[in-house]
Amino acid sequence: MTSRTLYVMAAACAAAFIAPVSTLAAQTVAITGGKVYPVSGPPIENGTVLIKDGKIVAVGANITVPADAEKVDASGKWVTPGLVDAETQLGLVEVGFGAGANESRARSEQGITPDFTSWDGLNPRSVLIPPAREEGVTSVMSTPGGGLIAGQAAMIDLFGDTRAEMILRAPAAMIASIGDEGGDGAPAKGQQIAKLREILQDTRYYQKHVAEFDRGQSRQMPLNPGSLAALVPVLEGKVPLLINADQASDIQSAIDLAKEFGIKVIIGGGEEAWEVADRLAAAKIPVLAGAESNIPSSFSTLGARQDNVALLRKAGVEVALIGNGAGDESLFNVRNIRYEAGNAVGYGLSWNDALKAITQAPAEIFGVADKIGTLQAGHEANVVVWDGDPFEFATRAVAVYVHGKKQNDVSRQDLLTKRYEQLPPSYGKP
């Protein structure tokens, strides 16, 4: 048997496990006895989370559990909303490089592709989804990358086997970058910022003259009408512009841009954001940042420090945590977002704010707080039961529910581990 055949078999096997079991029958589940962290309110000792037909119907200390409910005893356990990672490439990238399995980048000469709807290439059967989900991550932003404007990102639930089932909101953000983040020999920052301004001005013109564009009677624009149309919701404040920027001066440019055009801006990366924390707070601009960066790895991140997030919170900035420590945290190790939260606590963020930064905050920032991010009646039943503090390495997710369905993931990594637990491995055994 060739190794290729083996691989194909393993992949096929994994896919069989990955497909979620969908049951049509109405289902009521009561998770009882645990310490419940709704995030939207204070923790509830001996609380109950009642789930019906995929939604949360009640959360509290004195909930009457219907007789037909499936009861899940969570005594001694911790119950939280499913975790949310605000910046990943899940579903878009299968292997980092050298495998042609990357759907996160649009091709263009100038690196400006606002019309790129990245989720059209989303793969619900990515083998990278189960490892994240089995450790409690139930929703992620799946974002395109590269260039000045990379395209549009979707907020997805790690649920289902079609895009329609997964997508919570699309577009949830337009992705842009200023500075070194632009990469690929990015032009001078002044040029990048001027270009962003020009594009937004052109979008404003387009917005007012759509009819002429439709008739082909408008002046020529550097961007095609499809790209300009994609930017209209940004100008209207319906879709936020996520600007990846690290250097304090570039973050200031983003603040200025938000004010000039009256648009919603989110800062991504933001390694020096703490230096302009007060101004970010005043402008109500949220920041997506990690808790493990402290290396002046470029001249745009000289001020990187691990208490960045804590300092931002202290100033009143809304923050969501993203993985930016070592090790593929946008793909293979999306599951590590809970350790990012733990490290943030180690560097001064309160425990409650850290949990919020990987649940409610990203849901609010990307406009899906009415569906996910907290344990509240009416929300999607994305719920995780932990056998301890979710931020600790020793803790495991003992049950993960997405849309009210218990996930029984067996990841490709689990299959490999199982195969090699005993040596020599059990090749060929039925």
Task: Determine, following the binding rule CB under 8 A, whether residue 425 of this chain makes contact with other proteins.
Answer: yes
Cite the beta strand spans of 53-82 per DSSP E: 55-60, 70-73, 78-81
- HEC states along 260-326? HHCCCEEEEECCCHHHHHHHHHHCCCCEEECCCCCCCCCCCCCCCCCCHHHHHHHCCCCEEECCCCC
Among 105, 264, 305, 371, binds other proteins (CB under 8 A): 305
291: left (phi over 0), alpha (psi -120 to 50) or beta: alpha
Site string for other proteins, 110-129 (x = CB under 8 A): ------------------x-
Range in contact with other proteins (rule: CB under 8 A) among 37-45, 55-63, 89-97, 369-377: 89-97
Count CA atoms within 13 Å of residue 121 on its CB side.
Answer: 20
| Coil, strand or helix at 86 | strand
Task: Determine, following the binding rule CB under 8 A, whether residue 328 of this chain makes contact with other proteins.
Answer: yes
CA separation for the pair 321, 379 (Å, rounded): 22
Backbone angles phi, psi at 129, to 5 degrees: -75, -50
CB of 402 to other proteins, least distance (A): 21
Site string for other proteins, 367-396 (x = CB under 8 A): ------------------------xxxx-x
Beta bridge partners of 266: 242
Among 103, 181, 292, 409, binds other proteins (CB under 8 A): 292
Among 187, 298, 348, 364, binds other proteins (CB under 8 A): 298
Nearer to other proteins, 254 or 277 (CB): 277
Task: Determine, following the binding rule CB under 8 A, whether residue 226 of this chain makes contact with other proteins.
Answer: no
Please tell me what DSSP assigns to residue 377. T
Those residues with Cβ within 8 angstroms of residue 248's Cβ, 6 or more apart along the chain or in another chain: 272, 273, 275, 276, 303
Among 75, 216, 326, 427, binds other proteins (CB under 8 A): 326
Site string for other proteins, 269-288 (x = CB under 8 A): ------x-------------
Q: Binding-site residue total for other proteins (CB under 8 A)?
A: 45
| 263 neighbors 200 (Cβ within 8 angstroms) | yes
What part of residues 234-263 is at the interface with other proteins (CB under 8 A)?
Answer: none
Among 41, 66, 96, 222, binds other proteins (CB under 8 A): 96
Task: Determine, following the binding rule CB under 8 A, whether residue 407 of this chain makes contact with other proteins.
Answer: no
Residues within the interface to other proteins (CB under 8 A): 3, 95-99, 128, 275, 292-299, 302-303, 305, 325-328, 331-333, 336, 339, 342-343, 345-346, 391-394, 396, 413, 416-417, 420-421, 423-425
